[in-house]
Structure 1
Amino acid sequence: MMYSLFFRRWLIALGVLSTGWLCTHTAHAQYRGPISETAPLFALDTPTSYANTPFTPPVENMLNPWSRLVKRLNKKGIGIVVDYTSESAIALNAGHGGDAGYAHQIGVELDLDWEKLIGWKGFKTHAVLVNRAGHNLASDMGERSLNGFQEIYGGGGNVGVHLVYVYGTQDLYKNRVQIALGKMPVNIDFANSPLFCTFMNKSNCGIPKSLTRGASGYATYPGSTWGTRVRYWPLHGVYTQAGLYGVNPYLNTNKYDRTGFRMGTELYTGIYIPVEIGLIPSFGKNNLVGHYKFGVAYDSSNYRDVYYDMASQPAARTGMPYRWTNGKTQIWLQADQMLIRNGNGPLQGLYAIAGFTKSQGNNSPYTYQVYAGFVDRGLIASRPQDTIGVEWSETFASSQLVASQWIRYRQGLSLPGNADYPQSHLMTFEATYNFHVFRGISIQPDYQHIWRTNLQKNKPEVDALGLKIHAVL
């Protein structure tokens, strides 16, 4: 019965795609969701750019005494969240059958509403500390690209205490304008969606990883640099925002500071300037909300060309150093659309998601990334907090990089990117189901299939099973 209902609803969704656009609703009834029901800590890399940053996330706590205390603190302007997330994965084949990895994050978030504390209207501050530890299953396969079976493993891994961010936001003009300033990741505001971290694979959780792996300026959770961001809502359901961030190519490394507490800018190499425009329409009597965004970013840092030397000759052939280039441009186009509503909340329904990113090919390892999928929360009426998702993603190596790798490969030379064969593209498929098992606790079995690990044709396909556990104190 469950499977029959599942397939019927998805067939209905295809019809909604072709007719929903014709049934617009009045502006005052629009949602600004899916506003993340949680902060970046609670759902990892899932902050919102659809409404001004909330004071603190309305999380569901396991322990009622603690929940009552937190609610009392919230009324006084103090928000605290403590949570634990683990992600385990095991490879089933491809010569790595039985290889497994476990990784976890323990996080603490502190949010302060200074209007409630001292009367400073519209000013809030946000800080997150995490402990990350474990083993990355992808490393067993020589995988050093943007793919990873456990998105929780990454910057700040195996560090006792890591400062993710500390920044403040100021709301102005009846919340039509918000200014953020502090040490913060780019991805808490740009090219993101609270739907991305439905999935465990690293390719898309937080943001499409081709952006951050293609430019040092795109600092992503849990790495952060000093920066500022301004968001403006000219109309309800329409926003534009721009930011200015320092570029630190040594984030989360011993050369800079793996713990995130180093505040100096001496290793910054430039500035990262993202600009994004978003449209949030809603359709029909059920307010089927959609989110459509377009962004452009410029990184002023110097990057090595991936093909030419200083004499504009193939560096792999001449043996000369790859030349320096100045600046890098990236773009993204992203969309999600609710097709069927399951309840009143902004995330309660079936969403289709899709997107495209492009990075400058002459000095980036990846040129394009495309992805598409479905996320359905509340599919089963008796389980309104369960979430199911399927997603496909494909990332393409820079054609200039591939050409250089072929030259080096034919000469018997080593290749960049931990590759032992010229790279091409990487494709992932994931299916996942999140069970809400108890107040504040969810368990999520997961399946992933990877084609061309490390973007290499000579790598076998990989199947992996995963399990994600999330608990909020």
Structure 2
Amino acid sequence: MTYRFLACAVATLPFTPLSCAHAQTANITADRQAVEGNILPPHVVTTIASANYPKPQVQFSQVPLPEGKTLIGPLAPLSRLLADKGIYLRFLAVDEFAGSVSGGQGRGVGNSYALPFGADLDLDRMIGLKGSFIHVSMNVSKGTSLSADHAGNAISFQTRYKAFQNLRLAALAIEQNLFDGKLNISGGRVSPLTYFNQSNIYCTFQTNSVCFNPAVVPIQDRALGFFPYGTWGGRIKLAPTKGFYFQAGLFEANPSLNSTNGFDWSTHASTGHQTAVELGFQSSSPKARRPWHLRIGGYHNTSDVTDPYLDSDHQPRLATGGTPLQHDGQAGWYVMGDAVTGHLHDDVKRPVTVFGGLIGSTENYVPFKEQAIAGVILTGPLAVRPRDTLGLVGSYIRISDRQVNYLQASRIAAGGTDRVHRGEAIFELNYGMAVGRNVRISPNIQYVVNPDNFLQPRARKQSGDILAFGLRISVDIAGLLGMPAMK
């Protein structure tokens, strides 16, 4: 089973639509996955010297150091001095609110925030090691969750909510670029989904079905680790041309570390390893009038997976009370993409970006089996506000057969009779308002059809469709203070 995901990924090639999200070889700058609040519109690209490492908490409004110009902010003189020495700092604050008015297992509100911060060290400037960098990211997340505390569904309305709420080391990576950046080696205390299945457009949205990473299947199935839960691992990326790259990574699987502060670097509780591969195709120039990206990947986790429904004798576990059946690992695949299909009033600064794709697991004993995504983002929907965005995204997620059987058995045991649905659909409509260069406010409406009740499996009634209203506020503190990003 170790290599099934490779065959699965290759088999999808002939049937792949042109719709992948990201992997811009020359501009993978700083976690386009989240931008931790999407300070700038998704088409705005900040080029940095360390273009191959997607640093999870870099904000796009933090501009590169201007040549011969004065930075604005109280720490600008100190920041310029540090940047001249190869030290670049970043700091962001993101708050997300969500409140439901109908549906779920209960109505309520949740509010959570995250304070990601870190540093990027250019070792060429510091000690003369060309193409070498060190990246450090810290994170603290606090708050409450609409899903966990009220609605009972697994896929959160707030990406910044974390079950473990503490200050933690999120990433510590060493990076080396060789052959003019065509070969990149990066590793340390990192997470797979920092590198794989990435795009700068996903966190235009607040729903966790898309942001940080539209990877409900591998994340909910615990197949691939995600920020801020780093383990030992690394990735090699080869980009022979501007229009193509290949990358592969190997990472420790150790979910016991999620509850720590990130400084426990032992491997004694490791459950296996995670592997991922990805092929990327894209427009050869990041300045193309209609840029596009296509990404095809596969992944595998060797850790044992507990069957949600059957016992070791392959009988319903809730009825027998037997020992859970254990499975040998899991694997999956994804095909994702995006493309600029046009421009509002033929203005290149106001692109219309469509994106989407498919994600699937090769196993039927994991919680989620498949996910399909489609969305559109209008940048500059109003001519007088060219940096605003208007976004709409839909995601259909199918629950695995074993998980459906478990939820149905749990409902019957609790005295309920409602049928458990095999799939749910999640939609979000939002408007991102740029308030100056360093603040972004994004009100949104989220709607969930046939929501799951994973967090309350013994609920007697099927959850009603959920209508929720949300609000995200992102503040680029580094930008306000005058701290430049790497150029």
> Aligning the two structures, in what range does the TM-score lie when normalised by the shorter sequence?
0.7 to 0.9
Counterpart of 2:161 (choices 153, 157, 166) is 153
User: Could you tell me whether the CA contact under 8 Å between 1:273 and 1:297 is conserved in 2?
Assistant: yes
Residue 245 in structure 1 maps to residue 251 in structure 2: yes
Counterpart of 2:207 (choices 201, 208, 225) is 201
Structural mapping, 1:117-196, within 5 Å: 117-145=126-154, 147-157=155-165, 159=166, 161-196=167-202
Residue 453 in structure 1 maps to residue 432 in structure 2: no
* Corresponding position of 1:52: 52
Distance 1:277 1:58, change over 3 A: same
Counterpart of 1:462 (choices 455, 466, 470) is 466
CA distance in 1, matches of 2:24, 2:345: 13
Counterpart of 2:235 (choices 193, 211, 229) is 229
Unaligned runs of 5+ in 1: 1-20, 22-29
1:153-183 CA distance string (max 9 Å, x none)? 12543x2x12111111100111101001100
TM-fit CA distance, 1:459 = 0.9
CA distance in 1, matches of 2:438, 2:100: 29
* Corresponding position of 2:423: 425
Greater shift, 377-386 or 355-364, is seen at 377-386
* Corresponding position of 2:217: 211
TM-fit CA distance, 1:327 = 1.8
* Corresponding position of 1:24: none
User: Could you tell me whether the CA contact under 8 Å between 1:211 and 1:218 is conserved in 2?
Assistant: no
Structure with bigger RCO (C-alpha 8 Å, 6+ apart): 2
Greater shift, 423-432 or 305-314, is seen at 305-314
Greater shift, 69-78 or 110-119, is seen at 69-78
TM-fit CA distance, 1:52 = 1.2
CA distance in 2, matches of 1:214, 1:97: 22
TM norm structure 1: 0.82
* Corresponding position of 2:457: none
CA distance in 1, matches of 2:79, 2:305: 47
1:230-269 CA distance string (max 9 Å, x none)? 000122210000000000122423xxx1x22211111110
Q: For residue 193 of structure 2, what is the amino acid of its counterpart?
A: N
Residue 65 in structure 1 maps to residue 90 in structure 2: no
CA distance in 1, matches of 2:347, 2:114: 27
TM-fit CA distance, 1:402 = 1.6
Q: For residue 268 of structure 2, what is the amino acid of its counterpart?
A: E
Q: Secondary structure at the match of 2:180?
A: coil
CA distance in 2, matches of 1:163, 1:344: 45
Distance 1:67 1:85, change over 3 A: farther
CA distance in 2, matches of 1:132, 1:345: 39
CA distance in 1, matches of 2:423, 2:202: 21
1:57-81 CA distance string (max 9 Å, x none)? 6633896233454344323211101
Unaligned runs of 5+ in 2: 1-17, 64-70, 455-460, 478-487
TM-fit CA distance, 1:360 = 3.2
1:353-403 CA distance string (max 9 Å, x none)? 111111133331110011110112233343222122110011111012223
TM-fit CA distance, 1:325 = 1.2
Structural mapping, 1:373-388, within 5 Å: 373-388=375-390
* Corresponding position of 1:18: none
Distance 1:91 1:403, change over 3 A: closer
Q: For residue 43 of structure 1, what is the amino acid of its counterpart?
A: E
Q: For residue 366 of structure 1, what is the amino acid of its counterpart?
A: F
Distance 1:274 1:97, change over 3 A: closer
CA distance in 2, matches of 1:43, 1:394: 24
Q: For residue 186 of structure 1, what is the amino acid of its counterpart?
A: P
Q: For residue 256 of structure 2, what is the amino acid of its counterpart?
A: Y
Greater shift, 367-376 or 321-330, is seen at 321-330
User: Could you tell me whether the CA contact under 8 Å between 1:155 and 1:223 is conserved in 2?
Assistant: no
Q: Secondary structure at the match of 2:53?
A: coil
* Corresponding position of 1:26: none
Residue 279 in structure 1 maps to residue 301 in structure 2: no
Counterpart of 2:36 (choices 36, 43, 48) is 43
User: Could you tell me whether the CA contact under 8 Å between 1:239 and 1:278 is conserved in 2?
Assistant: yes
Distance 1:115 1:308, change over 3 A: same
Q: For residue 53 of structure 1, what is the amino acid of its counterpart?
A: Y
Q: CA RMSD in A?
A: 3.5
* Corresponding position of 2:440: 442
TM-fit CA distance, 1:133 = 0.9
1:277-323 CA distance string (max 9 Å, x none)? 01003699953111111111111111123344333444445442222
Greater shift, 324-333 or 148-157, is seen at 148-157
Query: How many pairs align?
Result: 433
CA distance in 2, matches of 1:344, 1:224: 43
Q: Secondary structure at the match of 2:92?
A: strand
Q: Secondary structure at the match of 1:182?
A: strand
Distance 1:313 1:354, change over 3 A: same
Distance 1:118 1:57, change over 3 A: farther
